[in-house]
Amino acid sequence: MSARTRRQKAALAEESDSPSNGSVSPSKRSPSKRARSAARDAPKENIFLFTPNLIGYTRVVLTFASLYYMPLHPRTCSFLYTVSCLLDGLDGYAARYFNQSTTFGAVLDMVTDRCTTACLLVFLSSAWPRWAIVFQALISLDMASHYMHMYATLSMGGSSQSHKKVDPTRSWIMYQYYTNKAVLFVCCALNEAFFIGLYLLSFSSPILSPSLLQPVSDGASAQPGNPAHPEPASLFSSPWSAGALEMARANKLESTWPWIITGIAFPVMAFKQFVNVVQMVNASKWLAEGDLKTRRANLKK
């Protein structure tokens, strides 16, 4: 090939790559242009329709259904609530299987867990007013520890940091709790099982609910909840009246299995509350470290 021919080919190649020709080779595009081009070519995805998020929406629906049946239908409520809790383990598996782990999904999962447990504890507070302060304290601890932990993770670890990614040097207990899937599942499942057991005992145990055994004297009106109580519909026209809980207790449940569930789950529930305390303390320390770094940086300016 002659030198003239080579020069002609080189000139043609330069013209094809020049802006005036309207086309630029991918290798000569700027990084920002390449990124925009890749974004245009990438398939469109709807985060809200990812499989784990659809499972999360199903949990929300089941939770609302269980709350609807909670005052009067303990069997139906317990079934729906249990299915919702079991799906909590399925959405994480689906996120890993389909490679659909998202920040929205993580927040949705945590918010659903916290609200579901809080609603059940609110009902237990109304069932046993004497112990209401205990249930209120459990709600506050659960909400505060998880909120502070997630906020500390996002603000100190970065927006892409998962709240389940715990540095073992900060807390060995928290590291085992979040990284060992078996430990996490057992703790969450039995924690919920304990409260479900208490819920069933509010309908079945005369030891915890003495009104279930209140005697009926001649000429006296029956106490709501007593097996000799008149037909509930004749006393309360609305199922959501103040006596709804006692009306439901008139249809007594067998208390054997609720006692067994509660007894087995109690140690794990207690451990879960201990983990919540550790989580809140560690999150507080992490946030305080960030505050100190910020103050030192401001003083140097």
Annotated catalytic sites, by residue? 113
> For residues 269 and 191, is the Cβ–Cβ distance under 8 A?
yes
- H/E element holding 261? helix 256-300
Distance (Å) of CA 34 to CA 29, 46, 229: 6, 23, 76
Instruction: Give the three-class secondary structure for 189.
Output: helix
Question: Cβ contacts of residue 132 below 8 Å, gap of 6+?
Answer: 125, 126
Read off φ and ψ for residue 235, nearest 5 degrees: -105, -40
**C-beta neighbour count of 292 within 10 angstroms:** 10
Token pair listed for 17: 């790559």
Read off φ and ψ for residue 140, nearest 5 degrees: -65, -45
> For residues 195 and 117, is the Cβ–Cβ distance under 8 A?
yes
Q: What is the CA radius of gyration of the chain?
A: 30
Read off φ and ψ for residue 217, nearest 5 degrees: -90, 160
* Cα dihedral 133, 244, 78, 91 in deg (nearest 10): -70
The alpha carbon of residue 155 and the mean position of all alpha carbons in its chain are separated, in whole angstroms, by: 20
